[in-house]
Amino acid sequence: MIHSGQQSQRAKQVLLGWRLAFSVLLLQFFLFAPLKSLAQDPTLFPRPAELEPAISFWVRVYTEVDTQSGFLHDSQNLDVIYTDLRLNRRAIEARRSQIQEDLRVLATGERGQLTDSQSEILALWPIDVSNQTLRAAASNVRWQLGQSDRFLGGLQRSGAYRQHINNVIREKGLPAELGVLPHVESSFNPGAFSSASAAGMWQFTRATGQRFMRIDHIVDERMDPYTATSAAMSLLEYNYSVLGTWPLALTAYNHGAGGIARAVRETETTDIEKIVANYKGRSFGFASRNFYAQFLAVNEVERNAVEHFGAVRFNPAPNFREVETDAFIDAEVFASSVGISLEQLRADNLSASPCRVGGE
């Protein structure tokens, strides 16, 4: 990559090109055959019965509704989905208000003169649901945007990176299933930014990323999908060494190893399903509680990608060559000398500051 730093520091330039595309079937075999033949080891990635409703919920989010639609659902009991709607804020809020009002009526114990809407909502809950649960549910009606088109886009983009990701995982001796994590984080988008200021395909915050990568006003290696992959696996490896199980290590990827260690102490268990159900840490919100369930869901969806999406045309893996120089060079001159546009050079060197790549 074209990086600039202190004058004594060597700068790197990477020229990216494209390999000839593999056939769709061959690439599908390369990407998914290892995961299908080595199904998730239940001792490494357990699927507790308590998490099955959440896993099923996220499978539906990733396969049934797109980013122009979504679900109104209960945020604590993910097997309770009230309705699916198109993305229209006014209609969503009106339906949410109606559901909340119906839940308040049901919470009074009324079971006789029910409207059709109230009867449909009651049928979503166990037959012995308490009035207290229904009263609480009125405050837990949540909107979840669909992800099916985003997941398919990520699946296509993943073709460019999975060979590298798999190589890093093998070199570190880590479970192959970890390679699906960008589906949860960024849909395999190296240029992704979140509202929480996380960046890149692996969605590192600045503070966490600086433990493993160079992040400054010149270079932000979070945006380099190759460097960031090694950093992500190092972070997961560290989380596992501290916490001892992959469900905890993965949840710590979202919530931090210190936060999960605190959850273990306060709940006196390492069982992820008990922590999800009982830990009340202030910052342990919906995203943290669901992170491991989402990981299991994207593994399931990816293993059954053809069933959900049909034949997938994966992006080909790039073939790139690194060239080291002893000093800074003008990016525009470099791009011209190797026969690519400045825009392509920028796209291929996302970790470099725009002004450095642009030579401005």
Q: Are 293 and 272 in contact (CB under 8 A)?
A: no
Please state at what angle helix 52-63 crosses helix 286-303, rounded to 10 degrees.
Answer: 70
Q: Which residues contact 206 (CB under 8 A, 6 or more apart)?
A: 197, 199, 215, 222
Environment class of 49 (CB within 10 Å of its CB; exposed 0-12, middle 13-18, buried 19+): exposed
Residue 126: CB partners within 8 Å, gap ≥ 6? Answer: none
Task: Enumerate the H helices of 16-147 as residue ranges.
Answer: 24-37, 52-63, 89-107, 116-123, 131-137
CA atoms within 13 A on the CB side of 306: 10
Catalytic residues: 185
Burial of 74 (0-12, 13-18, 19+ CB in 10 A): buried
Residue 108 and residue 57 in contact, taking contact as beta carbons nearer than 8 Å? no
Percent of the chain as helix, strand, coil, to the nearest 5: 55, 10, 35
Beta bridge partners of 74: 141
Euclidean distance between CA atoms 215 and 224, whole angstroms = 11
Quote the CA–CA distance of 279 and 287 in Å, as a whole number: 14
